[in-house]
């Protein structure tokens, strides 16, 4: 989607809603054909598959049970086939050969996204508004989309650097890609994605086998140096944005005046005064602290069945259609104890399955899968919605494939093939 939006914008074309429907419809049909061709991979469901199926069933039951299928809920319901089911199935039918092909695509997708952003800046910089984040391709969330590409590129290039024998100049090229990815992540200022990327790299490095401590330490020092340098040369708007990460959650509610009205169609569970950060619109970290506290309060108000799938916003400062920007908190608030435990159990099962494979068959691609999964799961706790977490569901599906499909169990001695 990022590259479609970028190319359309640079060519001067409008990207209508119909084009999005055609894109996802084509993708859905393509994955359906692949799933039919590889249906033998789906015949032996594992524990992750069972938990995933129960979670999706629980979401659908919640949609029906609360009986409020208005425009907003209907919109989220339409997301389920494309952003929940489709990515999981696609991950579930992945094989080691597919994952191997995906690595170089991820490595170079980040620099390509940056190149397109530079072209857009060159063409349109006079009309762009300077601020904490630059908006590219005419899309408000373009910094977040670009940062996801950069984080995937960082993790994939780290994996490639330590697992494949390459000439000195190719290793240097990978190091350059990593340095550019880290610096660009800092400048793009998608702070949650940057943290998720660093966690993904950390887990990848911990899971890597056959890499000396000296080499790992040298690489981490290189990344640290790039991070520190990037922070030192940040312009003031970006520096101030990062400084807001130190916002004290206990000080969020100490305001001179509260909001005079609630968000449209919603009754904030913490009261209207808690919505001041949203009214001011200057500190998204303060907004996050309010959202997290709202999610806890919503769960406490209806712990057993939740308030209903996609209905968190009716009790939040965000208004109808809003969500707490944390998939784990959202699942507990909207689906209650059972739904929350199913979602948390699904994430834990995917993580445990990956770690068990690393310690068991020692398949050489396991660190990549683990790093990518951790990156998406962590990022989802700052931006995510369990009805739109396509990246996470994809990697959960890959983890389920590793646990159930024999192709992920290589013959003895083929670990570094």
Q: Tens of pLDDT along 42-75?
A: 988 999 999 999 999 999 999 988 866 677 888 8
In which band, very low, low, confident or very high, does the pLDDT at 109 lie, cut at 50, 70 and 90? Answer: very high
The predicted model gives 346-355 an average pLDDT of 85
Do residues 223 and 183 make contact, with C-beta atoms less than 8 angstroms apart?
Answer: no
Residue closest to 402 by CA, chosen among 100, 94, 102: 94
In a domain, 71, yes or no: no
The predicted model gives 360-383 an average pLDDT of 87
In which band, very low, low, confident or very high, does the pLDDT at 121 lie, cut at 50, 70 and 90? Answer: confident
Give the per-residue pLDDT at 380: 96
Q: Which residues contact 408 (CB under 8 A, 6 or more apart)?
A: 95, 96, 357, 361, 363, 401, 402
Q: What is the DSSP secondary structure assignment for residue 85, as one 8-state letter?
A: I
In a domain, 311, yes or no: no
In a domain, 144, yes or no: yes
Give the per-residue pLDDT at 131: 67
CA 270 to CA 252: how far, in whole Å? Answer: 12
Give the per-residue pLDDT at 18: 92
The predicted model gives 303-327 an average pLDDT of 93
Give the per-residue pLDDT at 360: 52
More confident residue, 263 or 332: 332
In a domain, 277, yes or no: no
Give the per-residue pLDDT at 129: 59
In which band, very low, low, confident or very high, does the pLDDT at 334 lie, cut at 50, 70 and 90? Answer: very high
Domain tally for the chain?
1
In a domain, 183, yes or no: yes
pLDDT(93) > 90: yes
Q: If 0-12 CB within 10 Å is exposed, 13-18 middle and 19+ buried, where does residue 216 land?
A: middle
In which band, very low, low, confident or very high, does the pLDDT at 171 lie, cut at 50, 70 and 90? Answer: confident
pLDDT(417) > 50: no
pLDDT(257) > 70: no
In a domain, 8, yes or no: no
Largest CA distance in the chain: 68
More confident residue, 239 or 395: 395
Q: What is the reported pTM? A: 0.92
Give the per-residue pLDDT at 366: 86
Residue closest to 30 by CA, chosen among 99, 87, 105, 96: 87
pLDDT(128) > 70: no
More confident residue, 122 or 127: 122
Give the per-residue pLDDT at 406: 80
**Mean pLDDT of all residues in the chain?**
87
pLDDT(259) > 90: no
pLDDT digit string (tens) for 15-42? 888 999 999 999 999 999 999 999 999 9
Give the per-residue pLDDT at 27: 93
CA 117 to CA 119: how far, in whole Å? Answer: 5
Give the highest mean pLDDT range of 7-21, 212-226, 378-392: 378-392
In which band, very low, low, confident or very high, does the pLDDT at 256 lie, cut at 50, 70 and 90? Answer: very low
Instruction: Give me the helices (H) in 257-365, please.
Output: 276-280, 284-301, 327-359
Q: Which domain holds residue 151?
A: 94-124+133-234
């Amino acid at each position: 989607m990022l590259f479609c939006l970028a190319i359309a914008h640079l060519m001067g074309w409008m990207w209508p809603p119909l084009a999005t429907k055609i894109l996802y419809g084509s993708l859905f049909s393509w994955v359906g054909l692949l799933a039919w061709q590889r249906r033998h991979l789906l015949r032996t469901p594992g524990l992750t598959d069972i938990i995933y199926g129960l979670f999706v069933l629980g979401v659908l039951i919640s949609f029906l049970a609360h009986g409020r299928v208005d425009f907003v809920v209907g919109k989220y319901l339409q997301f389920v086939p494309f952003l929940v089911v489709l990515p999981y199935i696609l991950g579930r039918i992945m094989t080691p050969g597919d994952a191997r092909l995906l690595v170089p695509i991820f490595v170079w997708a980040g620099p390509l996204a940056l190149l397109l952003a530079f072209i857009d800046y060159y063409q349109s910089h006079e009309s762009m508004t300077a601020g904490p984040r630059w908006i590219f391709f005419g899309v408000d969330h373009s910094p977040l989309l670009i940062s996801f590409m950069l984080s995937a590129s960082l993790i994939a290039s780290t994996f490639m650097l330590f697992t494949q024998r390459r000439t000195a100049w190719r290793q240097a090229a990978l190091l350059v890609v990593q340095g550019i990815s880290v610096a660009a992540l800092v400048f793009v200022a998608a702070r949650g994605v940057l943290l998720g990327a660093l966690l993904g790299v950390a887990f990848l490095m911990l899971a890597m086998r056959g890499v000396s401590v000296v080499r790992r330490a040298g690489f981490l020092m290189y990344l640290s140096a790039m991070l520190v340098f990037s922070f030192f040369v940040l312009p003031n708007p970006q520096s101030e944005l990062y400084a807001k990460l130190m916002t004290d959650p206990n000080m969020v509610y100490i305001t001179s005046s509260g909001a005079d009205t609630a968000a449209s169609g919603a009754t904030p569970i913490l009261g209207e005064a808690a919505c001041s950060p949203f009214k001011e619109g200057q500190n998204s970290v303060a907004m996050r602290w309010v959202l997290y506290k709202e999610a806890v309060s919503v769960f406490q108000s209806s712990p057993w069945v939740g308030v209903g799938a996609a209905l968190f916003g009716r009790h939040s400062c965000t208004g109808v259609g809003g969500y707490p920007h944390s998939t784990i908190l959202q699942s507990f608030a909207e689906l209650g104890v059972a739904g929350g435990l199913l979602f948390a159990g699904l994430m834990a099962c995917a993580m445990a399955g990956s770690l068990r494979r690393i310690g068991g068959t020692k398949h050489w691609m396991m660190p990549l899968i683990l790093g990518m999964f951790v990156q998406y799961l962590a990022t989802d706790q700052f931006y995510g919605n369990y009805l739109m977490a396509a990246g996470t569901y994809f990697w959960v599906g890959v983890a389920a494939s590793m646990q159930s499909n024999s192709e992920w169990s290589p013959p003895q001695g083929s670990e570094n093939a």
